[in-house]
Amino acid sequence: MSPITKSSFAKVGRGLWFGALAVALVVAAQIAAQRGAQVEEYPHGCDSFGYLRMAQEIRQAAGRGELPRFNLESEHTRLLIDLMRSRDVSPNLWDEMIAPHAHHYFPRAN
């Protein structure tokens, strides 16, 4: 066999190999996407850093075609703050309940 024929076979073999790898990658990505779409996100235990809130913000922002804002202020947070303040409950008793861990309510900032 001539050297030209050997190099042609080598090129074809490499092309087939990379093609097979590309097909395998696409199939694996498709399977991962399908399985990921079937997973429900249920809040359970302690969502330490607000990941569910962040995931919801990402989905909503993507639906609007915008970037997510990741604000800690929400309707639920404000309702809880207003409820506790209306009942004159000391902020020391609830200042860590209204947001993910490492976030606290400060009365001066409201």
Q: What is the pTM of this model?
A: 0.41
- How many domains is the chain partitioned into structurally? 2
2 in a structural domain: yes
63 in a structural domain: no
Which residues, 6+ apart, have CB-to-CB distance to 67 below 8 Å? 61
84 in a structural domain: yes
Show the domain range for 78. 71-110
Write out pLDDT tens, residues 34-46: 988 887 766 666 6
11 in a structural domain: yes
CA–CA separation, 27 vs 41, rounded Å? 25
CA–CA separation, 25 vs 92, rounded Å? 53
pLDDT: is 9 or 25 the higher one?
25
79 in a structural domain: yes
Q: What is the DSSP letter of 107?
A: T
